[in-house]
Amino acid sequence: MIDLREFGLCPEKYPGETGGIARVTAVHKERYELICEQGKCYGRLKSSVYFTAGEEEFPTVGDFVKISFNPVGDSVILHTLPRQTFFSRRDPTPGYPLEQAVAANFDTVFVVQSLNENFNIGRLERYLTQAWQSGAQPVVVLTKADLPGDHAPKLTEARAAAPGVEVVAVSAKTGEGLDALRPYLLPGKTLVFLGSSGVGKSSLLNRLAGEELMETGEIRKEDGRGRHTTTHRQLFRLPGGALVIDTPGMRQLGMWDVTGGLGEAFPDVEQFLGKCKFSDCRHESEPGCAIRRAIAEGVLSPERWESYRKIHGEAMFSGTKEDLRRKKQLRNKQLAKNMRQKRKAGL
């Protein structure tokens, strides 16, 4: 029997749930890889719960789910247990502007960028906003520290863009800096790696694991971009007992409602909000604008204000609960229909 606490389950967070719990370790199209008390198994969603009723959250990697275990075939996933933390983006399915959970139930988010052409403060700020929104603690991990050049200015820039967040430079190649990550790699704790393709997420995972758990791929010579080597999300248990979720570098990172995350990612900006003379101040040329004053007095960086404004403008604010519920039902029904059609066509 496997003790799911070794896979991050905190039973006290799910009072009243006795047995039949599994953790999602990987998501394939319609099939989920799970770890449960009996060991590794596969599961499929119970259609009447997930599609017909259409309100249940689709499981994502890291989720805890209730299952009906089947020792000879696929188990049935009955219910997604409430998430403690989750990282979400806008569902890229055309026509369904909904929230999509990318990973769930992690303690720490490693926001990964590499110390080459990939390094980009705007992207870092976006990832950090989403990481804070997830409810977990972000850490900025700058990879490829072995590459030639002086990385100090990039570290300084990253620290300025990540108030209250630890910024570490590491190399999966030489092992440099990895000790700084140890405090996050504790038994039963889950971390998720997020960052663009080619930054070295899977390489870092392999280095920490001491074996080739995930395939890695060369980046393009022309622009340093990755080739989307990792194609699915997967949770691994490291030899020391920490759990790591590796994700594919995501092309579009559409932002869902990040109201809370913005406040935590931009405490330097937020401290001046709500202090203007007019409550509907647009922070343009209105008199008594606290933001403009802070910038003029040099206590707020204009770049940080600009980033905040941009991210705020991009985020999707979720509308009413009723509106969302309806959209979700519609989408789930449409998905169920697509799946039936594919099955009929033998795809």
Using CB under 6 A, list all residues that contact ligand GTP. 143-144, 146-147, 171-173, 197-203, 216-219, 226, 228-230, 248-249
Name the residue nearer to ligand GTP (CB basis): 43 or 195: 195
Name the residue nearer to ligand GTP (CB basis): 130 or 307: 130
**Which alpha helices (DSSP H) does 61-120 contain, by range?**
none
Distance CA 333, CA 347 (A): 19
Distance CA 269, CA 148 (A): 35
Name the residue nearer to ligand GTP (CB basis): 21 or 128: 128
Distance CA 158, CA 195 (A): 14
Least separation in angstroms between residue 190's CB and ligand GTP is 18
Closest to 87 measured CA to CA, from 76, 102, 77, 99: 102
Distance CA 124, CA 172 (A): 20
**Contacted entry of ligand GTP, Mg ion, none for residue 173, CB cut-off 5 to 8 Å set by kind:** ligand GTP
**Contacted entry of Mg ion, ligand GTP, none for residue 218, CB cut-off 5 to 8 Å set by kind:** ligand GTP
Strands 75-80 and 39-45, bridge-based pairing: parallel
**Contacted entry of ligand GTP, Mg ion, none for residue 283, CB cut-off 5 to 8 Å set by kind:** none
**Contacted entry of ligand GTP, Mg ion, none for residue 8, CB cut-off 5 to 8 Å set by kind:** none
**Contacted entry of ligand GTP, Mg ion, none for residue 217, CB cut-off 5 to 8 Å set by kind:** ligand GTP
Name the residue nearer to ligand GTP (CB basis): 88 or 229: 229
Q: In the numeric block, which tokens belong to residue 290?
A: 């606290």
Name the residue nearer to ligand GTP (CB basis): 118 or 332: 118
Least separation in angstroms between residue 279's CB and ligand GTP is 44
19: left (phi over 0), alpha (psi -120 to 50) or beta: left
Q: Which amino acid is at 87?
A: F
Least separation in angstroms between residue 30's CB and ligand GTP is 23
Least separation in angstroms between residue 278's CB and ligand GTP is 45
Closest to 14 measured CA to CA, from 82, 101, 103: 82
Find out whether 67 and 36 touch, Cβ atoms under 8 Å: yes
